[in-house]
Structure 1
Amino acid sequence: MVQVQIEQGLIRGNRVGDGAEFLGIPYAAAPVGELRWREPHPPSGWEGARDATAFGAAALQTGGASFDLRVEEQSEDSLFVNVWTNSLDVDARQPVMVWLHGGGNLGGAGSEDAFDGRVLAQRGVTVVTLNYRLGAFGFLAHPSVGANFAVLDQVAALRWVKTNIRAFGGDPNCVTIFGESAGAWAVRTLLSTPTARGLFHRAIIQSAGYEDYAFQPAPTVERAYDAAERFFDLLGARDLDRLRALPASDVLQASHALNGTTPVAGRVHTPANLTWSPVADGVVVSQQGFAGWADDVPVLLGRVANEARYFIRPGGRYDWAVVENMAAAFAGDRRAEAMAVLHDSTDDPYAALDVLFTTAVWTEPALATLNRFVQLGRTVFPYRFTRVSPGAKASGDLAKHTAEIRYVFGNLEPAEAYDEVDAQLSRDMQEAWSTFARTGAPEVRGREWPRYRQGEAEVTVLGDQVGFESLVVEPLTAIIASQRRS
């Protein structure tokens, strides 16, 4: 056991090899009762040493976690952080890496096994993971209630880091926020959150958090308010006091019923139709620009090659009619051109659907984001993850959405699904992510990764080895981009 003193009191954690872990530390008061759908309040202190050797409860959810949660309990009382470090010297000034988990804003937790920070901490960084409110608990938006409670949770966690991280060897003035999928969306949102400004100094955006989709109108506050009205109808209440008094199980059930991920006949569902999401309300999240993004904060931004295979699993029954329907949705009046490109590249409708879905939901929006960020004068380092492990090859998953996470954290499990090529790539990615956290520029074996420059762009490719290629805009990407509204 090992003890440290933080603002709330003494905590007792686990000694892990040469380092230590502190789990289930409250960063805010439980958002229950009168605090449901309110800005998080500061946590209370305690007498004596608080046990921090086990994860706290995960946020209430009905699914969505990509990995083993490692906890059975779920609760509204779930606003906890976990910390891994190899130094408890308050003068160590290690870079701090704060992970925001994915799960479609519906599931997940900072306790998931893929996010365990003990290996990454060996790179001389202090690693933090956290829980935030999910579903309607975190993302309900209505004039009578407020909005963006999960975003406020994330800001509260960053404030906790600023106040307490020196006790864990961390530097409060060198904080990197990083996340994947909904966690990357959270990172992007924090760039537009005024109260987050100055609480982070680098940002890593993995497989989400891009520009709005080219193929559909941008989400609006009004759409979020409409979802809230349906939510109130399901609960049979609109009075805020009554809503706060309802059992959490009732709120969870209504939240799940409106989660927006139910497939439509003839199509596959996409991350583009989620109901519970951050909203630019003009109060918590700015409606224009990036009010939370300080001028000197660089961004590492990327995606994986076969994102869609997380959502359209190998072995499913997909035919060309499904591809046609999705082409109509994504390419509009250029659907015939899109289909011609797909037919030229493959005879397999599943492979075609993967390419189409991945291009529309990830590749094109990521390119639009790179161009926007560079036009704003920002420093951006792009990457593409293409490595297919032996296990992913056998399953047909290839480089699917979430595939890169275990490499970043050094948690390549199950071991039989990976080989030494994967182990080396994992070491290289940990080096790149940790040097970016330390200096603002990713680096592997003494070589800095290229920055994005529109018109003559290079991208770092994380495949069987780390390489660098010219960024080429494929014909299908250009077709999808042509649907983008000015």
Structure 2
Amino acid sequence: MTDASPECTTRQGAVRGRTERGVTAFLGVPYAAAPFGPRRFAAPAPAEPWSGVRDATAYGPTAPKPPYAPPFDVLIPETSVPGEECLNLNVWTPEPGPGARLPVMVWLHGGSFSNGSANSSGYRGETFARDGVVFVGVNYRLGTDGFLHLPGAPDNRGLLDQIAALEWVRDNIEAFGGDPDRVTVFGESAGAMAIGLLLTEPRARGLFRRAALQSGACHHFVRPDTAHRIGERMARSLGVAHSAEAFAAVPLPELTAAQDALRADYASRPDPAVWGDAALNGMVFEPVAERLALPGPDLGVDLLIGSNREENRLFMVPTGRFATITEKRARRGAAAYGMDLDRYAASRPGASPGELLEAIGTDWFYRIPAARLAESVPGSYVYEFGWRSPRFDGELGACHAVEIGFVFDLLDDPDHVPLVGEEGPRDLARTVHAAWVAFASTGDPGWPAYDPAGERTTMVFDDGACRAEADPRAAERELWHDVR
């Protein structure tokens, strides 16, 4: 018989979890102190120790955030739990207690650095634990608290939180059955973009052995002048000084509303004269970096990198832009990305302006950055997710975030149904999930590595037709040489 309420001991104190069907979950475990009061906008501090046994059978608080704007509030369900102790994580393990030394997978959720949480039901780690992995989902600061540039506060506080969580994993995961020397960090969208920056962050070196980046790489950040400009704009909207001290005095509901208004302001006119180099990125809250930094061949981290074939359909189809965009608007959009629309039209005869602009945006934002990262680290593995969702009469396609339910093998979870539909292909989910588990366990997901001087092998995941292809859509990839 397995103890239904097992205990594990961390450096801060003991925690009690709950076991169901052979998997034990420890939820809401703090990895850093609550980032409020005197710690507001500061780098994460160690979690306060506790006496006795802390109950870890319910999710902890999530980072403050406004809801997604329609229609994305329906397509991407959001989970929010109030409370200040939001720097916490959730662990699922098949063998609680030291000695098992199982591979570990640490999940960094997406959400444009402004939304999301590790508490979403679609991010349950039970399927990974079922397959012999210790899974950790991390909650980190978002939006203003995590990523707005504020004089008097360190930049990239959300990234610092992620590093603190990885340090917690290094120091404590063995007590939950994990091997601290076999840690894979993986994430989607903003989570993957964060990993792209962690790959070159000295403070993160040695904290993970492998990394899997889904729909995000190293290219997604703002430079300091843009970060300062965005911070000043939000300060003016609040009528306060642009400083950490002044922002800390703003009531949290007012600050959250101002964050939402700033995003709406950006969406209404993403003008480079106003938003600097954030104008093309689709996000006002992003990590701050001086320049693009790609890791070199001596990275010492195994990489799995990829994107979905029609990422930008998520942002164009539900809003109606996909079907209504004119050729003039498509040309203007393509030029903003540094691309000539006619070059894509030549390889896609009969494509509509919306289809062409979507393909260009997907490559600029997702596929080409993934390729650049793979080119910089020999031995990387590259994938493309090509299964097309039936939602929106099939036009949603292989859109952004649709692969997550497959990676987690949780297609029937209510969080994934809005994008995947009611009857997603379970065989494909098992195949994708198994590849991620194999990569975390051995460093090899099951297909040849990407060789930029050779075949550029890419695993294409599609319903009934998973296959390793040599350099899919090579002609379009080559168009981005010296552009992206």
Q: Which residue of 1 aligns with 2:387?
A: 387
Q: Which residue of 2 aligns with 1:423?
A: 426
Q: Which residue of 1 aligns with 2:104?
A: 96
Assess if the C-alpha contact under 8 Å between 2:197 and 2:218 holds in 1.
no
Q: Does 1:363 align with 2:362?
A: no
Match of 2:178 among 162, 170, 178: 170
Assess if the C-alpha contact under 8 Å between 1:382 and 1:452 holds in 2.
no
- CA deviation vs aligned residue, 1:80-126 (integer Å, no higher than 9, x gap): 10001111141100000000000000100001122111012111000
- The CA RMSD measured in Å over matched residues stands at 2.8
Q: What is the CA–CA distance in structure 2 between the aligned matches of 1:47 and 1:86, rounded to whole Å? A: 26
Q: Which residue of 2 aligns with 1:119?
A: 127
Q: Does 1:319 align with 2:319?
A: no
Q: Does 1:272 align with 2:281?
A: yes
Assess if the C-alpha contact under 8 Å between 2:304 and 2:382 holds in 1.
yes
The one-letter code of the counterpart of 1:322 is R
- Change in 2 beyond 3 A, CA 1:302/1:251: same
- CA deviation vs aligned residue, 1:418-446 (integer Å, no higher than 9, x gap): 558x2112112222111111111112xxx
Give the superposition deviation at 1:192. 1.9
Q: Which residue of 1 aligns with 2:275?
A: none
Q: Which residue of 2 aligns with 1:55?
A: 59
Q: Which residue of 2 aligns with 1:328?
A: 335
Give the superposition deviation at 1:244. 2.1
Give the superposition deviation at 1:338. 4.1
- Change in 2 beyond 3 A, CA 1:107/1:294: farther
- Change in 2 beyond 3 A, CA 1:395/1:176: same
- Change in 2 beyond 3 A, CA 1:192/1:143: farther
Taking the TM superposition and a 5 Å limit, the aligned residue runs for 1:439-478 are 439-443=442-446, 448-464=447-463, 465-478=465-478
Question: Greater CA deviation, 257-266 or 312-321?
Answer: 257-266
Give the superposition deviation at 1:63. 2.8
Q: Which residue of 1 aligns with 2:260?
A: 256
Give the superposition deviation at 1:276. 1.1
Assess if the C-alpha contact under 8 Å between 1:386 and 1:462 holds in 2.
yes
SS at match of 1:230: helix
Q: Which residue of 2 aligns with 1:219?
A: 222
- CA deviation vs aligned residue, 1:242-289 (integer Å, no higher than 9, x gap): 43232122322332333375143999x9871422111126xxxx9755
Q: Which residue of 1 aligns with 2:144?
A: 136
Listed as ranges, the gaps of 5+ residues in structure 1 are 213-217
Match of 1:10 among 5, 14, 35: 14
Q: Which residue of 2 aligns with 1:243?
A: 247
Q: Does 1:432 align with 2:435?
A: yes
Question: Greater CA deviation, 104-113 or 362-371?
Answer: 362-371
Q: What is the CA–CA distance in structure 2 between the aligned matches of 1:452 and 1:16, rounded to whole Å? A: 43
Q: What is the CA–CA distance in structure 1 between the aligned matches of 2:97 and 2:215, rounded to whole Å? A: 35
Assess if the C-alpha contact under 8 Å between 1:360 and 1:477 holds in 2.
no
SS at match of 1:454: coil
Assess if the C-alpha contact under 8 Å between 1:301 and 1:381 holds in 2.
yes
- Change in 2 beyond 3 A, CA 1:270/1:85: farther
- CA deviation vs aligned residue, 1:21-50 (integer Å, no higher than 9, x gap): 111111111100211111111111222221
Q: What is the CA–CA distance in structure 2 between the aligned matches of 1:147 and 1:92, rounded to whole Å? A: 38
Q: Does 1:405 align with 2:386?
A: no
Assess if the C-alpha contact under 8 Å between 1:67 and 1:113 holds in 2.
no
Listed as ranges, the gaps of 5+ residues in structure 2 are 273-277
SS at match of 2:440: helix
- Change in 2 beyond 3 A, CA 1:253/1:315: closer
Assess if the C-alpha contact under 8 Å between 1:203 and 1:299 holds in 2.
yes
- Change in 2 beyond 3 A, CA 1:449/1:403: farther
Taking the TM superposition and a 5 Å limit, the aligned residue runs for 1:102-113 are 102-113=110-121
Give the superposition deviation at 1:239. 5.0
Give the superposition deviation at 1:394. 4.2
Give the superposition deviation at 1:341. 4.6
- Change in 2 beyond 3 A, CA 1:30/1:271: farther
Assess if the C-alpha contact under 8 Å between 1:68 and 1:113 holds in 2.
no
Match of 1:208 among 196, 213, 216: 216
Alignment: residue pair count: 459
Q: Which residue of 2 aligns with 1:215?
A: none
Q: What is the CA–CA distance in structure 1 between the aligned matches of 2:115 and 2:444, rounded to whole Å? A: 32
Spell out structure 1 runs of 4+ moving beyond 6 A: none
Q: What is the CA–CA distance in structure 2 between the aligned matches of 1:99 and 1:231, rounded to whole Å? A: 30
Q: What is the CA–CA distance in structure 2 between the aligned matches of 1:287 and 1:365, rounded to whole Å? A: 11
Q: Which residue of 1 aligns with 2:26?
A: 22
Assess if the C-alpha contact under 8 Å between 2:448 and 2:457 holds in 1.
no
Q: Does 1:190 align with 2:195?
A: no
The one-letter code of the counterpart of 2:451 is Y
Q: Does 1:232 align with 2:240?
A: no
Assess if the C-alpha contact under 8 Å between 1:308 and 1:401 holds in 2.
yes
